[in-house]
Amino acid sequence: MAEAYPHFELTPTLDADIAAAAARVRAARHVVALTGAGLSVESGIPPFRGPGGLWTTYGEPPMDGYQRFLEDPKAAWEARLNPKKEPWLAGLSETLGRAKPNDGHRALAELEADGRLACTITQNIDGLHGQAGSRAVAEIHGNYSLLRCLGCTRRFAGDELAVDPANLPPACPDCGEMVKGDTVQFGEPIPQDVLRRCYEEVGRCDVMIVAGTSATVFPAADFPMEVLRGGGTVIEVNPLPSELTPLATVALQGPGGEILARLLDHVRNPSAQLEEGRA
C-alpha cells in the first residue's frame, strides 16, 4: 500500500528495525496503538489542511462549532440533516463514507485478534479500525457515523435512534438529555468516558505503537510521553520524520499499511537471527 507515497524508499536497516520492534511487542505485557490521520491517508482520506485537504476543498467547519451547537442545537441539527447547507460537512461525509480500511488498519486488527494488542486509541473519526475488525478502540474525537448523548455518553449507531426532523434536537431514551453527532467539534471537550479509558490503557501500557501521527496535539501528545516516563517502549510508524522521531525507542519510517503489515509478520514469525543484539 505504498501508492500514497510513490517516492518513498525503504531504508536499509528497516527490516532489522522492524524485527527489533516486533521483539518488543512479543515481550510486552500491554501493547497499545495510537493512530492518527496519516494512517487513513492510504485509505483515500486526505488530511484536513494543506493542498488537496478536506477543508481546503470543502471549506472549514466553524471554530466555535460546539458553542454554536449548545446555543442553538435545533439549528445545528437542521444543518446536519441538510448537509448541502454546510459544504464541509457534505464533503467530509462523502469522503469518509467511501473510505475502506487499509493494510495498516488490518494489521492492528490482527494483532488484537492474536492477543498482542490490548487497545487502539485513535484520533480519527472515520471508523476504519472498527471496519477492519478491531474491537477495543477508543475514538478520542468520536466517530462520524455515530450519535452521542451529552448526558450519559451513550452512543447510537445507524437507526438505533429515530431522529424526528419536527422535534430537534433528539432526546436520549435513557436519560432525556440531548443527543448530538459523536464527532468532537472545535471547542468541545473530549468525552469523559473515552478520556478515562485512554488514561487507563496508557497507564498499563509498556509498548506503544504510534502510527500515522506525530502525537503533538493534546491529549494524544501525553500518551507516548507517559509510556516513556514509565520506562516503556514507543515504536513510531510514520512516512516522514516527526517531532516524535528523536524520542521514539524505535522509529520505523514508511507508509503505515506496509510497515504495520510487516511488523505483524515479524511478530508472528520471529527471526532470531535478525533480532540478536538489536532487541
Active site residues: 141
Residue nearer to Zn ion on the CB measure, 78 or 177: 177
Between CA 157 and CA 232 the distance in angstroms is 36
Contact call for residues 103 and 2 (beta carbons, < 8 A): no
Element (H, E) at 132: helix 128-132
Residues 177 to 196: which contact Zn ion by CB under 5 A? 177
Part of the chain binding Zn ion (CB under 5 A), chosen from 66-74, 102-110, 144-152, 215-223: 144-152
Q: Collect all residues with Cβ–Cβ distance below 8 Å to 127 and sequence separation of at least 6.
A: 96, 139, 143, 144, 145
To 5 degrees, how large is the angle CA 47–CA 52–CA 57?
A: 100
Part of the chain binding Zn ion (CB under 5 A), chosen from 15-23, 44-52, 171-179, 247-255: 171-179
Which SS3 state, helix, strand or coil, does residue 121 take?
Answer: strand
Q: Is residue 71 part of the contact set for Zn ion (CB under 5 A)? A: no
Which of 18, 21, 168, 172 touches Zn ion by CB under 5 A? 172
The 102-141 contact track toward Zn ion, x by CB under 5 A, reads: ----------------------------------------
Residue nearer to Zn ion on the CB measure, 41 or 172: 172
Q: For the chain, first and last CA: distance in Å?
A: 27
Shortest separation between residue 136's beta carbon and Zn ion, angstroms:
23
Question: How many amino acids of this chain bind Zn ion (CB under 5 A)?
Answer: 8
Q: Is residue 147 part of the contact set for Zn ion (CB under 5 A)? A: no
Q: Is residue 160 part of the contact set for Zn ion (CB under 5 A)? A: no
Which SS3 state, helix, strand or coil, does residue 119 take?
Answer: strand
Residues 76 to 95: which contact Zn ion by CB under 5 A? none
Q: Is residue 151 part of the contact set for Zn ion (CB under 5 A)? A: yes
Nearest to 1, CA basis, from 53, 40, 48, 51:
40
Between CA 81 and CA 259 the distance in angstroms is 39
Which of 113, 152, 217, 240 touches Zn ion by CB under 5 A? 152
Contact call for residues 103 and 237 (beta carbons, < 8 A): no
Shortest separation between residue 64's beta carbon and Zn ion, angstroms:
24
Residues that bind Zn ion (CB under 5 A): 149, 151-152, 154, 172, 174-175, 177
